[in-house]
A = this chain, B = another copy of it.
């Protein structure tokens, strides 16, 4: 028979079990953080009806959509009527609109699932990747206080993820838009172009951004004022003071200033360390979708990773699906890409093996002893594997060592007759013989329970 070469589709990340444990630990940490702040879980189907999912015809994302079609539909010559979700925001909008009457608002949901984009295949680009999203949706209105809560959650999660120092940069699009309007630049298209140029600051540098702004028709003095604000490196309070000193009176600017000030106060009340967040007006985010606060998160030592958690405030989540006005604010962690980048830089957190103890099988006559010891240790809260294959002890210990299991328990005829067990620490290469009756008590000092 011909052998089919086993391989995964390009653009997917598949992990070996030991790596999967690290990934799972990160997913669990994120979920626990979301739940700790009182968010509730949602999962949606991987595919949506095409006419529901693809509403903004011609957009960039639409070109990357994966269509789904059953064999039956294909044989009947139909067109595909399903498509894989490309983010978790459109499914959220559809979900909230569909279940509007059954939900309570403010609706605080988290969603951790994979999404799909037909990206060009290249290192670090994924066609299938996890997004970990958190959003608060209001009915008709949503207090700016929620804009401070979300970064507080992300701070807690990234601290627990233990992936190095990081900073959440935030801004409010109303500040720059209001400033521009107060400078007399109130054409929406032109404002958009200005914001797009400002967004490039990191990539092209201050002089080139200045040049671009002047090319757009901004006066030198105004371009300089904008640039001095967006490159401001002082504290949040200093930057807020600088903004107040602008004395701009455009209502959009004043609204943005009020929202920003409230975030700064709330972050303090939430106990978020000062250096974890930075008010940075250069964070403009290209997406028109955002209408107020915007966020980007950077690993301090690795700005080249780009933003690892982004989001913002939007005026209306689900206008395509409902007449209700549903403003919201959300943040999203792109976990697959983050994992991949951390992995490439050997920055992944150390995570203990799921399995804590391997009970070896030294003497097949004692197999009942091994099995009932396994049951006893599991009841005591440990994750335990019984090696059930007849094999030399050396091979079994090597198996545990290769798999990454830290402890092995050995009971031979000799130990059994004395009522003892032998614990082998495979990392420390040490061993310890003790009475079986003391085993569970002694294990408490050697390893921690799994839950």
Q: Using a CB–CB distance below 8 Å, which chain A residues touch chain B?
A: 1, 3-9, 12, 14-18, 20-21, 23-24, 32, 35-49, 51-52, 55, 62-74, 80, 82, 84, 93-95, 97-99, 102-104, 106, 108-109, 114, 116, 118, 128, 138, 141-143, 145-146, 149, 156, 265-266, 268-271, 318-323, 354-355, 357-358, 367-368, 371-372, 374-375, 378, 382-386, 388-390, 399, 402-403, 405, 450-451
Contact = CB atoms under 8 A, between A and B. Distances in A.
A63 B68 contact: no
Residue from the set A4, A35, A80, A149 with the largest chain B CB neighbour count within 10 Å:
A4
A451 B28 CA distance: 12
Contacts of A390: 143
Contacts of A35: 354-355, 383, 450
A390 to B, nearest CB: 7
Contacts of A266: 367, 371
Contacts of A368: 265, 268-269
Contact of A149 (B18, B68, B358, B388): B388
Contacts of A1: 319-320
Given A43-B14, A71-B65, A52 B269 contact: no
A155 to B, nearest CB: 11
Contacts of A68: 66-68, 84
Contacts of A269: 367-368, 371-372
Nearest to A369: B269
Contacts of A95: 6, 14
Nearest to A142: B389
Nearest to A376: B271
A38 B358 contact: yes
A42 to B, nearest CB: 6
Contacts of A451: 32, 451
Contact of A118 (B72, B358, B367, B384): B72
B20 A41 contact: yes
A60 B386 CA distance: 38
Q: In the complex, which of the residues A48, A266, A269 has the most CB atoms of chain B within 10 Å of its own CB atom? A: A269
A7 B52 contact: yes
A63 B71 CA distance: 6
A384 B36 contact: yes
A35 to B, nearest CB: 5
A368 to B, nearest CB: 4
Minimum-distance CB pairs A-B, first 9: A38-B385, A70-B118, A145-B388, A12-B45, A17-B40, A269-B371, A269-B368, A6-B321, A6-B98
